[in-house]
Structure 1
Amino acid sequence: MPQTITDKTIFSLAEVARSIQKTIADRYKSLYWIKAEMNKLNHYSHSGHCYPELLEKKDGKVIAEIRSTLWKGDYERINQRFMEVTKEPLKNGINILMQASINYDPVHGLSLHILDIDASYSLGELEREKQASIVILKEQGIFDANKQLIFPVLPKRLAIISVETSKGLADFLKIIDNNPYGYHFEHRLFPALLQGEKSVPSIIDQLKQVRLSLHDFDVVAIIRGGGGDVGLSSYNNVLLATAIATFPIPVITGIGHATNETVSEMVAYKNAITPSALADYLLQHFHDFARPVAYAEQVLRSKTTQLFEKQHQLLNNTIKYFRMVSINELQENRHQLASLRSRTLQQSKQVLIQEKNSFKQLKDLLSAQSKHILMEEKQNITFLGQRLKRENIHLNKHSRQILVQVKVQLIRQVHHIASKERAQLNELQNSLALHGNKSIQEATKKIESQERHLSILDPQHVLKRGYSITLLEGKAIKNANMLKEGDKVKTILALGEIESEITFVKGNNKTEKYE
């Protein structure tokens, strides 16, 4: 009961609380359907009870907030039906339509006692948000912006936005990192919350981080594990969908559900129902590139092998031809050299015989002349002695000595003349012998030089010195005027061959014939 003190009626706090409790109980006797955002479920596993925090927002501001209770039995029943309809349990951050009574407790204050939740309402809220976001994106002309980007031929550098412990991420990485084809992917994880009210700013912030190193990536992959539609409400958010639609490189999603697409999936370049399906999509791009390349490689190897075999046969034929021509030329020159050597030796012998005959004749002539001179001198001496005798000239001893000295001197002169003639004859003989040997040596050197020259003309030796043979349709090119732009020519080197296409020809104005 209230007290009266100095004309003041005073109530205790308990009295006021009980009065409020009675008033509310008398005023709110019925059950009411109330819509609100369940900010936090506050489920306590030890007791099984829940104490949800309920909010109502307007323009992003909280305009109403109240606590509520959901007892264990009611929670189990409602949660079971909620999972059957939405494929997800009750959780934080969802809009609900609940049936509740209004209660006031003097200790715990005002609260709502939740008796039932309409699961279909939560699905309807998602759909309304989804349609509103689609309208806004289409009015801004950005709904298909990301889809219009050019997808890389080989999307190997991936920026992945996901939760590090997500099972969907583990499945995705297992497929791309352990693919049996040996395709190599580079990926970097940008961790983010993927559901709940904080998921939208978290994913948008990580997209901003990817932009800072955009040149390091080919695509962005948003990967989330399985779940129902209620947990996907953040992916219908217009801000998140705008960030994905306007991202400068393709965004692909593997959010992990098989029901209606969210707005974020609609505006992404490609969405897959599971992370595993998204990994298969990337591998397929590598397949689409690798198969034609493998076929082209096979064709190129086959054509190259055939071409090498053909050119090898052509080169062998050319080598055989050059070798045959060289051998024939060498044999012909050897025959000519042998004939020349034979003629040279024969002529040298003839010259030597002639010189020997001339030398013998000269020797005989010199010998005869020497004998003749000696005989003449002897005759002169004899004649002189006889004359002296006839003239009765008496010679004394001194005169006889002078006469003997003159005789000796004449004999010496005869011998000197004979020796000189003999020396000249020997010199002439040596000269003839030297001349004959020199002629033979010169002929031999000439033959050896021609043999070396013919050996050098062998095509293999020519190629080894850095020269090459250029062929057009199997024929050797000797004049640039034989070529035109677009012709395909083959160049034979000492080791290997080169095939090329003519892009420029500089001819010679001189006209020469080559066979």
Structure 2
Amino acid sequence: MNQSLTLLELNRFVREVVKNNFPDTYWVRAETSDVRRNANGHCYLEFIEKDPVTQNIVARARGVIWANTFRLLESYFQSQTGTAFTSGMGVLVRVSVEFHEQYGYSLTVVDIDPSFTIGEMARNRMLVIRRLEEEGVLRLNKELPIPDVCNRIAVISSATAAGYGDFLHQLASNPFGLIFYTKLFPAAMQGENSEASIIAALEKIYENRDMFDAVAIIRGGGATSELNCFDSYPVATNCAQFPLPIVTGIGHERDVTVLDMVAHTSVKTPTAVAEFFIDHQAESLARITDLQQRLVSIARQAISRENSELALLSKDVYHHSIAFLSKQNSEIGNVVFMLRAYSQKQLDTLRQEHKEQVVRFRNAVEHVIRSEKHRIENAEQYFEMVSPKNVLKRGYTITVQNGKIVTSATSLVENECIETIFSDGKTTSEIKNIEKWKI
């Protein structure tokens, strides 16, 4: 325990070991990551190395470029490579190895070789192009036909970019009065997030692809050094396989990017992109106008020819119609005569049948009347015969008790009064005895 060290003592010992064993500076190949510049002008970053097969990080070291060195190296690097010093770049840097008791191991950059980065950029670009060729997608987008009517345009750009405003102004002020419909899908066109932002915009357009005829990727102005994202494989392969034609105008004068190579059409500026769509529409309009004029001319010739043939047919039809009508009138006259004679004969027959039916109807009615009269007379005789008055005259009587006719001895009660009605009067009797018979 007497030989134990404090952490500070240990770190000081490590610092001395590093200082004594790494006294010089060393050229190191690495990839930049997390590059950031603070308010004092110092540049802090990480150096990483990836496995060439798995792309997993196999080494990592913290790095720093002090402000006075960074001002010189940054300007020199950009002038030589045409691109800014940023994350994701392959670099060859001269570093000193440092170990600080508090901040640990780091590499301090004292020099940089731009030619290495230029080679790395060119190599990476060629690898992307070769990969696209091997996958058979390098020219897919170029093979897509641009519709004759191509005025629904999905735009990928920064909403605040001057080039986007120039693009819209050029479309709106076209000399042909053509109407264009544009929809902006905002994206970061530079910086570390540009790749993901552009791909996200493409995915949103893909979801609504039936609403658009083409895609414009525009970027007005800006440094050439900010074009790295347009050489990336993810952006290039997404554009190459996109189902709508893509027209690029990303505002640069150097060699074309990989994105320009895979796009259907590549022009220099956003204004040129607008001109491309205007010219395409104007050509389509000219073709349509020419077709319209040719169609009108052909239609007029056809109408004139048909009018001549129609006039000849009209004359033939007139003469044939006159002859046909004359023949039909004659036949109609014969039919009318025959119909009149036949109608008269039928009418005479119907009149005779009507007279016979009237006689038969009158005889039948008279027979029914005689029969009904005889039946009524028989009924009158019967009713007269069975009337109560005639029945009483024959010696029959009617017995009444409490206003009701008595039809059975069972309804009588002894010591009560009954009335007996005769043909010429009635009597009142008191019941003394009731003798009931069984029937």
Confirm whether residue 212 of structure 1 aligns to residue 207 of structure 2. Answer: yes
CA-CA distance at 1:476 after TM superposition: 6.0
Partner of 1:260: 255
Match for 2:48: what amino acid? L
Equivalent pair of 1:98/1:114 in contact (CA under 8 Å): yes
Match for 2:255: what amino acid? N
Confirm whether residue 248 of structure 1 aligns to residue 238 of structure 2. Answer: no
Confirm whether residue 284 of structure 1 aligns to residue 279 of structure 2. Answer: yes
Equivalent pair of 1:86/1:229 in contact (CA under 8 Å): no
Partner of 2:7: 13
Runs of 4+, deviation exceeding 4 Å = 227-230, 292-301, 473-477, 479-482, 508-512
Compared CA separation, residues 90 and 118, structure 1 to 2 (3 A): same
Equivalent pair of 1:235/1:262 in contact (CA under 8 Å): yes
Partner of 1:327: none
In 1, the alpha carbon distance for the partners of 2:183 and 2:114 equals 38
Partner of 1:439: none
Confirm whether residue 117 of structure 1 aligns to residue 99 of structure 2. Answer: no
CA-CA distance at 1:24 after TM superposition: 0.7
Partner of 1:41: 35
* Structure 1 unpaired stretches of 5+: 312-469, 483-507
* Structure 2 unpaired stretches of 5+: 325-439
Q: Deviations over 1:102-121 (max 9, x none)?
A: 11111222111111222232
Compared CA separation, residues 93 and 286, structure 1 to 2 (3 A): same
Confirm whether residue 25 of structure 1 aligns to residue 19 of structure 2. Answer: yes
Equivalent pair of 1:192/1:203 in contact (CA under 8 Å): yes
Give the alignment partner of residue 181 of structure 2, picking from 181, 186, 190. Answer: 186
CA-CA distance at 1:205 after TM superposition: 2.4
Match for 1:75: what amino acid? F
Compared CA separation, residues 235 and 509, structure 1 to 2 (3 A): farther
Partner of 1:362: none
In 1, the alpha carbon distance for the partners of 2:225 and 2:114 equals 10
Q: Deviations over 1:277-316 (max 9, x none)?
A: 2111111112212344556677889x79x99xxx9xxxxx
Confirm whether residue 201 of structure 1 aligns to residue 201 of structure 2. Answer: no
Equivalent pair of 1:86/1:228 in contact (CA under 8 Å): no
Compared CA separation, residues 171 and 122, structure 1 to 2 (3 A): farther
Partner of 2:65: 70
In 1, the alpha carbon distance for the partners of 2:31 and 2:163 equals 28
Which runs of structure 2 are paired with 1:167-186 in the superposition (5 Å)?
Answer: 167-186=162-181
In 1, the alpha carbon distance for the partners of 2:321 and 2:192 equals 85
Equivalent pair of 2:78/2:225 in contact (CA under 8 Å): no
Partner of 2:46: 53
Equivalent pair of 1:126/1:236 in contact (CA under 8 Å): no
TM-score (normalizing by structure 2): 0.65
87-96 vs 73-82, greater mean Cα deviation: 87-96
In 2, the alpha carbon distance for the partners of 1:260 and 1:480 equals 77
Aligned residues: 318
Compared CA separation, residues 475 and 65, structure 1 to 2 (3 A): same
In 2, the alpha carbon distance for the partners of 1:165 and 1:38 equals 29
In 1, the alpha carbon distance for the partners of 2:206 and 2:162 equals 26
Equivalent pair of 2:84/2:226 in contact (CA under 8 Å): no
Partner of 1:133: 128
Equivalent pair of 2:15/2:99 in contact (CA under 8 Å): yes
Compared CA separation, residues 93 and 169, structure 1 to 2 (3 A): farther
CA-CA distance at 1:165 after TM superposition: 1.9
Compared CA separation, residues 38 and 171, structure 1 to 2 (3 A): farther
Match for 1:153: what amino acid? D
SS of 1:52's partner is strand
In 1, the alpha carbon distance for the partners of 2:124 and 2:317 equals 77
Partner of 2:395: none
Equivalent pair of 2:31/2:88 in contact (CA under 8 Å): yes
Percent of aligned pairs sharing the same letter: 32
In 1, the alpha carbon distance for the partners of 2:126 and 2:316 equals 74
Q: Deviations over 1:67-97 (max 9, x none)?
A: 2221222111112112222333323333322
SS of 2:147's partner is coil
Compared CA separation, residues 73 and 204, structure 1 to 2 (3 A): same
SS of 1:258's partner is coil
CA-CA distance at 1:201 after TM superposition: 2.8
In 1, the alpha carbon distance for the partners of 2:138 and 2:181 equals 29
Match for 1:13: what amino acid? L
In 1, the alpha carbon distance for the partners of 2:308 and 2:83 equals 76
Equivalent pair of 2:28/2:95 in contact (CA under 8 Å): yes
Partner of 1:472: 308
Equivalent pair of 2:171/2:278 in contact (CA under 8 Å): yes
SS of 2:248's partner is strand
Compared CA separation, residues 89 and 130, structure 1 to 2 (3 A): closer
Compared CA separation, residues 61 and 197, structure 1 to 2 (3 A): farther
Compared CA separation, residues 17 and 69, structure 1 to 2 (3 A): same
Confirm whether residue 103 of structure 1 aligns to residue 98 of structure 2. Answer: yes
SS of 1:10's partner is coil
CA-CA distance at 1:136 after TM superposition: 1.7
In 1, the alpha carbon distance for the partners of 2:124 and 2:209 equals 31
In 2, the alpha carbon distance for the partners of 1:84 and 1:214 equals 41
Equivalent pair of 2:95/2:110 in contact (CA under 8 Å): yes
Compared CA separation, residues 279 and 121, structure 1 to 2 (3 A): farther
SS of 2:37's partner is coil
Higher helix share: 1
CA-CA distance at 1:156 after TM superposition: 0.6
In 2, the alpha carbon distance for the partners of 1:158 and 1:110 equals 53
In 2, the alpha carbon distance for the partners of 1:478 and 1:20 equals 116
CA-CA distance at 1:146 after TM superposition: 1.1
In 1, the alpha carbon distance for the partners of 2:115 and 2:22 equals 26
CA-CA distance at 1:10 after TM superposition: 0.8
Match for 1:249: what amino acid? L
Match for 1:27: what amino acid? N
Partner of 1:153: 148
C-alpha RMSD over aligned residues? 3.2
In 2, the alpha carbon distance for the partners of 1:156 and 1:261 equals 26
Partner of 1:142: 137
Compared CA separation, residues 240 and 196, structure 1 to 2 (3 A): same
Q: Deviations over 1:403-457 (max 9, x none)?
A: xxxxxxxxxxxxxxxxxxxxxxxxxxxxxxxxxxxxxxxxxxxxxxxxxxxxxxx
